[in-house]
Structure 1
Amino acid sequence: MTQNGNLKRRVRARAAKTGESYTAALQHIRQPSPEDLAIRSVRIVVAQTSLFNDPRDHSALHASGVEMRRLMREAHKAGARIIHLPEGTTCAPNKRIMSGNGPGEIGPSDWTRCEWGTLREELEAVRRLASELKIWTVLGSVHQLTSPHRPHNSLYVISDRGELVTRYDERLLSNTKISFMYSPGKVPVTFEVDGLRFGCALGMELHYPEIFTEYERLDVDCVLFSTTGETPSSAPAFAAEALGHAASNTYWISYSAHAPQSASAPSGIAAPDGQWASRCPANGEPAIAVADIRTDPEHPARPWRRKARADLYTPHQIDGDPRSDGRNLF
């Protein structure tokens, strides 16, 4: 997050000095080096997990941890450098279960009901296993803040050394989440693995193209999007948005949702051509899918679109209103 802030300040300073657009200034600051032009590859696993939605249930929180660690071991056997898991992998608290007004009425969440100690124990076990397996682990969890602040809905990024290197907090929350459940995040988050840059998104943010164009400007190679999923009827269109964002921004998107949604929209990895490179089974069961994410420095689409979004067309635009010229009218 600090690196993102420093980059933005440099870009804004150049734009103010030269009169360039933000995109043009960013492009100048990030002139490619020979190293940037090398093809790089990372093997990633995307997972779909069981849905645990009651943070009061000690045994369920433990079961979610056991399942996560089993999938991490499967990812390690598949040769993955990263495993990407859904929103609320540890637990996706149900709004009615958490409502202080009782299950019959959705109201402000009572977070004293959460078994925070058990949650921390399971996360610590995941952290230790990530270090043991030497695998990067990105998972969804509620992040506790000091009272009276509501928690964040977050993605934890744990390195292959077992270190929590960063955390992404969902920014564009649903009406229920912002009204009764969570505090919103503020900033995009990126991190690097083996020379590839990853961004994070969460929840319903797939519906907001600005999240994904922002990550394109931040030079990511892949966005890790975690969700609990949509309703069965809406899930296929929701997942299709991942393909659209991948194609329009020419990068990879890993789409991770819970296993119950897989009957209509299983977890998968979308390639920059807008096609699924790999998907989990559509059987409602926890599972993983594997893909090798590769950069393609010579692909023309991304630099062209950056150029088009900058000041490419301004010199060619016609002054005045062309409609006032009668020769151009039928």
Structure 2
Amino acid sequence: MPKNTPLRLAVAQLTVHPDPGDTAALRDSGEQIRRLMRDAHAAGARLLHLPEGALTCPSKQTMSTTGADHIGPADWDRADWTTLAVQLQAIAVLAGELRLWTVLGSVHPLTPPHRPHLSLYVISDQGKIVTRYDERMLSHTKVSHMYTPGSTPVTFTVDDVRFGCAMGMEAAFPEMFLEYERLDVDCVLFSTHGPGTPTNNGPFALQSQALAAANSYWVSYASTAQDAPNAPSGIITPEGDWLTQCPPELTPAITTADLNLSADNHARPWRRVARSGLYTQYQALTDPRSLERARS
């Protein structure tokens, strides 16, 4: 059923740091995130969505045990897990104080010898980590040398608005976004770290627009300040249009929009009917191969 009360969503871009063992950089990430949380709260947002690696975005070159020229297994002993936990806890406490749902990317440790997950933490407005999404469709380097892949989709609900989570390069896999359509989400929170460069114009942002339109739901696109000149963070309508975007500048920022779900969405139910076998009754009974033989 249409929902009558809009939810104000904030999406952020921020400068991410490549070394999870750099204690000062981890603290800077935490401070950036908390500043953006306060900005989102001041703007009246109920939920703040941050990019992949918001707390730490490990570089394959930095982490490689075999050097930057020939990438090998990641050295996770170099990570400052204690500071990461302290910063995550401070973010959760502030989320509770501000009554602000907060979704941010970081690494999640597993028991050795298992590699960590690359994750999105979902923190409620009560300051609790209520769920976690682990990236499933990892790049070749990520799955070969860095992370343990996740296995399941994740959804959660805020004020009757149902969210799904995706990250990394998963915009290149439309079946994952179709899965969230089947799970009745209203908005997918897609957190990424590129691959925007001056020459490719942010393909994940373009794919996010197409996926929003193809599935008739909102997509929140959260990327890094480093990628902002090519693909700033923003919010995409169910028609595939940018409703709002952060400045295309190398600076932390947020932008906000109200997700108005009161309008009827006719495209989604029709696509479900179309996929249910509707067309079988209208298809010609003649075998196409017999027509080819007749022509020859």
Q: TM-score range by the shorter chain?
A: over 0.9
Aligned to 1:45: 10
Q: Does 1:65 align with 2:45?
A: no
Aligned to 2:239: 273
From 253, 257, 277, the counterpart of 2:223: 257
Aligned to 1:161: 126
How many Å separate the matches in 2 of 1:286 and 1:255?
15
From 139, 156, 177, the counterpart of 1:191: 156
* TM-score, reference length from structure 2: 0.96
Q: Map of 1:184-263 to 2, 5 A cutoff?
A: 184-232=149-197, 233-263=199-229
How many Å separate the matches in 2 of 1:186 and 1:250?
25
From 149, 171, 179, the counterpart of 2:136: 171
How many Å separate the matches in 1 of 2:170 and 2:201?
14
Spell out, residue by residue over 1:150-204, the C-alpha distance to the aligned partner (whole angstroms, 9 max, x if none).
0000000000000111000000000000000000000000000000100000100
What is the one-letter code of the residue matched to 1:255? Y
Q: Does 1:314 align with 2:280?
A: yes
Q: Map of 1:46-195 to 2, 5 A cutoff?
A: 46-195=11-160
The Cα of 1:104 is off from its aligned counterpart by 3.2
The Cα of 1:293 is off from its aligned counterpart by 0.8
290-299 or 191-200, larger mean C-alpha shift: 290-299
Question: In the alignment, is the contact (CA less than 8 A) between 2:196 and 2:203 conserved in 1?
Answer: no
Question: In the alignment, is the contact (CA less than 8 A) between 1:61 and 1:118 conserved in 2?
Answer: yes
How many Å separate the matches in 1 of 2:20 and 2:140?
21
How many Å separate the matches in 2 of 1:120 and 1:235?
35
Q: Does 1:304 align with 2:236?
A: no
Give the aligned CA root-mean-square deviation in angstroms: 1.6
Question: In the alignment, is the contact (CA less than 8 A) between 1:229 and 1:235 conserved in 2?
Answer: no
- Secondary structure of the structure 2 residue equivalent to 1:39: coil
How many Å separate the matches in 2 of 1:260 and 1:241?
19
Spell out, residue by residue over 1:192-227, the C-alpha distance to the aligned partner (whole angstroms, 9 max, x if none).
000010000010001110010000000000000001
Aligned to 2:255: 289
Question: In the alignment, is the contact (CA less than 8 A) between 1:40 and 1:196 conserved in 2?
Answer: no
- Secondary structure of the structure 2 residue equivalent to 1:304: helix
Question: In the alignment, is the contact (CA less than 8 A) between 2:212 and 2:240 conserved in 1?
Answer: yes
How many Å separate the matches in 2 of 1:201 and 1:45?
17
The Cα of 1:323 is off from its aligned counterpart by 5.1
Structure 2: 5+ residue runs without aligned partners? none
Identity in percent? 54
Spell out, residue by residue over 1:8-29, the C-alpha distance to the aligned partner (whole angstroms, 9 max, x if none).
xxxxxxxxxxxxxxxxxxxxxx
- Secondary structure of the structure 1 residue equivalent to 2:25: helix
How many Å separate the matches in 1 of 2:228 and 2:4?
33
Question: In the alignment, is the contact (CA less than 8 A) between 1:190 and 1:198 conserved in 2?
Answer: yes
* TM-score, reference length from structure 1: 0.86
- Normalized per residue, the structure richer in helix is 1
Spell out, residue by residue over 1:256-300, the C-alpha distance to the aligned partner (whole angstroms, 9 max, x if none).
000010101100100011100010000111000101112145221
How many residues align structurally? 295
What is the one-letter code of the residue matched to 1:216? E
How many Å separate the matches in 1 of 2:113 and 2:202?
38
Question: In the alignment, is the contact (CA less than 8 A) between 2:169 and 2:204 conserved in 1?
Answer: no
The Cα of 1:105 is off from its aligned counterpart by 2.3
Question: In the alignment, is the contact (CA less than 8 A) between 1:323 and 1:329 conserved in 2?
Answer: no
291-300 or 267-276, larger mean C-alpha shift: 291-300
